[in-house]
């Protein structure tokens, strides 16, 4: 019996997905749990497995097309089974009006003479193993992935392999002859605005744009700012580094300590550890802190789960591992899902104060500025101490000003008494 395969829901904020690559063709046998298709969401590119064993009878949606959650992508069934056009139209239902079924067999014209990397084969007929993000990068750079040697598991070509080949090609490019005439480009007419390049709003960049537009236009947000004296945390860190480095095997940063303090404050002030879904505020028993990571393609937020229960070494190690995976395009869906609160830190860029945009369905986000020496009133005197501005942006539908202020006060109290959080 034919089974429909629809666009899966790969996160509670996902509304639609894009088919990046079919890993099986019509007529191919497939096992249950075997990767079937590569899907791009607003957060990640991931392989989706087949829900059943059988044969790919029809591929309805070709590569590079988007569909909403639940939309029919393919039909699976038993060997020798057939799906007529009438049956296919019935499976498509009302969506057939907007997205007509593609007659079998589906043929997607290649944009270049080089076959698409994920489904290409080497000269000897061997199937090419390449990650989805590496394949996309190779296409964008105009490189033939079938000639590359992969360094990933099982010889899989990774993003780093593609970047290495691109750099080697750039280095090997012959220099222009010294006697070659220098072409001159006429200056643009006065008053004309030239365009040097464009950045299309699609893929991850497009999804980020959509999510931020949605957040900005649908959430009644309020910002509360508090300055925190960081002298105790800075001094405590300096004193403990000699013990922490051999104990944890890495150097604890101020950001790690802020993450730990925030996680403990969320446990003590649970109104901020929440999401707003289906007209109800859901307070969560797990404190899952998302750490915003900037990529060329956009912003992604991997999650440190149960952060309040982890020591500084675990938080530091997981944070670094997640950031490296994000930059290499290797994050898994479960590493970016189910966050309950987000921290975004621009301190390393010299930003003192900013108001971030809430990451729905979460109800709050904390912006952390640069820790720097500032004048602070201590008693009746003025002292110069390291301090930081914390900007809490929250959804006023879910949280009122006083609970939000209590949360900031708790973060401030912890950071000014590091022994209360850094040793647990």
State pLDDT tens for residues 45-88.
788 999 999 999 999 999 989 999 999 999 999 888 888 888 88
Note if the bond before 156 is cis, omega within 30 degrees.
Answer: no
Report helix, strand or coil for 300: strand
Catalytic pick among 12, 284, 396, 406: 396
Question: Sign of torsion, CA 276 277 280 284?
Answer: negative
Is 312:319 a contact under the CB 8 Å cutoff? Answer: no
Instruction: In whole angstroms, give the CA distance from residue 208 to residue 44.
Output: 11
The pLDDT of residue 204 is above 80: no
Indicate the helix (H) or strand (E) that contains 392. Answer: strand 381-395
Give me the mean pLDDT over the 147-158 stretch: 78
More confident residue, 95 or 273: 273
What is the value of pTM for the model shown?
Answer: 0.69
Q: What is the pLDDT of residues 285-304, one digit of tens each?
A: 999 999 999 988 788 999 99
Note if the bond before 184 is cis, omega within 30 degrees.
Answer: no
**pLDDT at position 174, please?**
57
Is 103:83 a contact under the CB 8 Å cutoff? Answer: no
- Which among 158, 180, 162, 178 is positioned nearest to 170, based on CA atoms? 162
Give me the mean pLDDT over the 187-214 stretch: 78
406 is catalytic: no
**pLDDT at position 110, please?**
35
* 313 CB-contact burial (10 Å; exposed 0-12 / middle 13-18 / buried 19+): middle
Give me the mean pLDDT over the 121-136 stretch: 65
- Which among 164, 114, 117, 111 is positioned nearest to 136, based on CA atoms? 117
Is 272:347 a contact under the CB 8 Å cutoff? Answer: no
Give me the mean pLDDT over the 145-165 stretch: 80
């Amino acid at each position: 019996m034919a089974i429909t395969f629809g666009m899966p829901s790969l996160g509670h904020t996902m509304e639609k997905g894009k088919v990046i690559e079919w890993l099986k063709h019509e007529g191919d046998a497939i096992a249950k749990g075997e990767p079937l298709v590569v899907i791009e969401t607003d957060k990640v590119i991931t392989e989706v497995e087949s829900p059943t064993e059988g044969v790919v009878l029809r591929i309805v949606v070709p590569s590079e097309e988007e569909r909403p959650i639940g939309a029919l992508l393919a039909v699976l069934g038993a060997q020798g089974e057939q799906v007529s056009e009438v049956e296919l139209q019935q499976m498509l239902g009302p969506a057939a009006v907007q997205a007509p079924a593609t007659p079998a067999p589906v043929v997607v014209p290649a944009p270049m003479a080089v076959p698409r990397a994920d489904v290409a084969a080497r000269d000897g007929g061997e199937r090419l193993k390449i990650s989805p993000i590496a394949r996309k990068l190779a296409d964008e750079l105009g490189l033939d992935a079938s000639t590359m040697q992969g360094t990933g598991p099982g010889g899989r070509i990774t993003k780093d392999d593609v970047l290495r080949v691109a750099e080697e090609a750039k280095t090997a490019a012959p220099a222009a002859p010294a006697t070659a005439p220098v072409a001159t480009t006429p200056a643009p007419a006065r008053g004309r605005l030239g365009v040097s390049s464009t950045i299309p709003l699609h893929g991850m960049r497009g999804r980020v744009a959509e999510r931020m537009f949605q957040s900005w236009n649908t959430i009644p947000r309020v910002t509360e700012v508090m300055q925190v004296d960081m002298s105790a945390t800075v001094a405590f860190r300096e004193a403990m580094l000699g013990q922490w480095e051999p104990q944890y095997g890495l150097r604890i940063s101020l950001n790690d300590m802020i993450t730990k303090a925030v996680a403990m404050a969320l446990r003590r002030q649970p109104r901020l550890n929440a999401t707003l879904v289906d007209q109800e505020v859901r307070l969560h028993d797990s404190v899952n802190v998302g750490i915003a990571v900037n990529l060329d393609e956009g912003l992604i937020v991997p999650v440190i789960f149960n952060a309040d229960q982890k020591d500084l070494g675990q938080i530091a190690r997981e944070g670094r591992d997640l950031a490296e995976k994000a930059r290499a395009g290797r994050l898994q869906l479960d590493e970016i899902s189910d966050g309950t609160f987000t921290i975004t830190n621009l301190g390393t860029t010299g930003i003192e104060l900013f108001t971030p945009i809430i990451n729905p369905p979460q109800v709050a986000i904390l912006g952390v500025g640069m820790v720097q020496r500032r004048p602070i009133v201590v008693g009746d005197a003025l002292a110069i101490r390291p301090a930081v501005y914390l900007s809490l942006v929250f959804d006023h539908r879910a949280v009122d000003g006083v609970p939000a202020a209590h949360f900031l006060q708790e973060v401030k109290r912890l950071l000014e008494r590091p022994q209360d959080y850094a040793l647990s």
